[in-house]
Amino acid sequence: MSSVEFTNLEKSLGQQTIIPGISLEIPADITTAIVGESGSGKTTLLQLVIGLLKPDSGVVKIFGTPLDYDNLAEARKGMGYAVQGAGLFPHMTVFENVTIVARLSGWSDSEIKARYQHLLALLELTYEFSTRYPHSLSGGQQQRVSLCRAMMLNPPLLLLDEPFSALDPITRTAIHEQFLHLQQVEPRSVLFVTHDMNEARHLAQHGVIMREGNVLQQGSMTAIADSPANEHVADLFRGSRT
């Protein structure tokens, strides 16, 4: 079964067509990178999955079930979502940010504490961070807290929208390694957006290459690298080797 499936999907914003009509299946239980330059439609696809946008036509399925736009709260319990810049609530502590979805979902205090402590350990954050506010954290620390929040409900699908792009190279490399460790400890379907082919090749097993709302190529990262569909895809891979 696919983790996400788009069928005849179309989306326009104002007079601009962002997604002209694509069909695409994202495999389950591995990491898939959607790669493309700015304006390629990759973030729009992610927003259609989480329900921030609704397609003009076509169907979005999550693990075989059409996304119910009238009951998004329930659907989102099965998805974690992290974005560039962390997106933490500035008036909440680290503990409050990470656990808010579990508290709204009615988890018990003991369940929340156990899951919270487990996630802190996985992301190499100490318990003393719990009472701190986002403004007092470094960019890397904020991003790790954001990942903790996205994974609090242990969702089967994790959506990442360029979450590492604003970080300095050293911090970015460290969080990449933590992400790979997370996938070993808690395997799940991951769909992440990036414009960085190096990042895609390092973190993902499957790739979707987009340009101007269209899918140029999809498949295993190895297969795409070995047999690029056109010169644009080939250029992306050549650039990632520099």
Q: Which residues on neighbouring strands pair with residue 59, listed in sequence order? A: 7
The yes-or-no verdict on residue 242 having pLDDT over 50 is: no
The identity of residue 198, as a single letter, is N
Three-state secondary-structure class, residue 5: strand
Instruction: Give the integer Cα–Cα distance in Å for 210 and 130.
Output: 39
pLDDT tier at 85 (50, 70, 90 boundaries)?
Answer: low
Could you tell me the residue ranges of all domains in the chain?
1-77+187-242
Q: What angle do CA 130, 133, 137 make, to 5 degrees?
A: 90
- pLDDT tens for 190-228 read 999 998 888 999 999 999 999 999 999 999 999 998 899
Mean pLDDT of the chain: 91
The average pLDDT across 37-60 equals: 92
Three-state secondary-structure class, residue 229: coil
Which is the CATH superfamily of the domain at 1-77+187-242?
Answer: P-loop containing nucleotide triphosphate hydrolases (3.40.50.300)
- pLDDT tens for 120-175 read 998 888 998 999 999 999 888 898 899 999 999 999 999 999 888 777 888 888 88
